[in-house]
Amino acid sequence: MIIGIIRGANTDNIEKIVEAGFGGGLDKIEIALNSTDALEQIELVSKKHKIGAGTVLNLEDCKKALKAGAKFIVSPIADPETIKYCVKNKIEVYPCGVTPNEVYTAWKLGATMVKIFPVKNFGGPSYIKELKGPFNDVKLLACGGVRPDNIKEYFEAGADAVAVGGTIFSSMDPEKIKKEAKEFSSST
């Protein structure tokens, strides 16, 4: 599974950007809550697509994102309240964990997948492989440094999914986004 991360998009262009990402082969797309008008953008595109909210830092933001139409929650932290709320309400939740203790704690709280971010700073695919040793049942989402030339290595190392942002969406040009997304989806 490849998840696209949209950060800083213009609301007027968000539907075209999302369409381009999915058209290029992305499986899911999240809109980062620390973007201007993120909730409005989620509400706009969630009518047609399974859109998630990213950079969710607390339960209040989680609830706002879900009310706007987000179908899954991604976080750079592992907030226990947010994870428990999502589990209770059968919402997919991908909190972050880096150390073995953080990964295990997030998983035990009920995470759908544990986001390893920034994975490149901790050894990239080899770190995913090391984590899968003791945590072979834990689903891992590699994020931060995943590129078309190394995406296959992440999956071979045991990543269950990858998340990619700037490499695909930096231009905010739908044609370029579709091309970049295809490069990732065809590299797996």
Q: Tell me the domain boundaries of the chain.
A: 2-185
Token pair belonging to 112: 């759908």
Task: Please provide the average confidence, as pLDDT, over all residues in the chain.
Answer: 98
0.85 surpassed by pTM:
yes
Omega within 30 of 0 (cis) for the link into 100: no
Task: Using DSSP, state whether 51 is helix, strand or coil.
Answer: strand
93 pLDDT more than 90: yes
Per-residue pLDDT at 94: 99
Q: What would the pLDDT profile of 147-180 be if each residue is shown by its tens digit?
A: 999 999 999 999 999 999 999 999 999 999 999 9
Q: Measured between alpha carbons, how far is residue 179 from residues 24, 50, 145, 170 in Å?
A: 6, 21, 19, 12
Burial class (CB in 10 A: 0-12, 13-18, 19+), 166: exposed
The architecture CATH gives domain 2-185:
Alpha-Beta Barrel (3.20)
* Overall average pLDDT of the 119-148 stretch: 98
